């Protein structure tokens, strides 16, 4: 999983760098393509209409929930523990 803050910061940095490049610079084309891929990742995480602020909030919430799950044991379904269910 990616850190949404890092992702949004990377998009912002790429945008600033792209703005400094000449329109005909080949590096600009490559960076614009990378930026679009990162934007697609962000949009795909929550949907195309989500605002960046909501995206940040939602992913921070998910990180907190996942951190709490680190301490919880994972139990398999009861059928997995029943030898009769294996046949």
80 lies in a domain? no
Q: What is the pLDDT of residues 32-45, one digit of tens each?
A: 999 888 888 877 76
77 lies in a domain? no
Residues ≥6 apart with Cβ < 8 Å to 78? none
Domain span at residue 24? 4-60
22 lies in a domain? yes
Give the global pTM.
Answer: 0.50
**Position 76 pLDDT exceeds 60:** yes
- In total, how many domains does the chain have? 1
pLDDT at residue number 51: 75
Average pLDDT over the chain reads 78
**Position 47 pLDDT exceeds 80:** no
* 16 compared with 86, residue with greater pLDDT: 16
Q: Between vectors from CA 76 to CA 70 and to CA 82, what angle results, nearest 5°?
A: 155
């Amino acid at each position: 999983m990616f850190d949404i803050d890092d992702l949004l910061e990377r998009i912002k940095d790429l945008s600033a760098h792209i703005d400094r490049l000449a329109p005909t610079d080949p590096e600009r084309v490559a960076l614009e393509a990378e930026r679009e891929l990162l934007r697609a990742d962000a949009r795909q995480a929550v949907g195309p209409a989500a605002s960046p602020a909501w995206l940040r909030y939602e992913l921070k919430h998910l990180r907190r929930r996942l951190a709490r799950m680190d301490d919880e044991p994972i139990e398999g379904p009861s059928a997995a523990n029943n030898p009769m269910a294996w046949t």
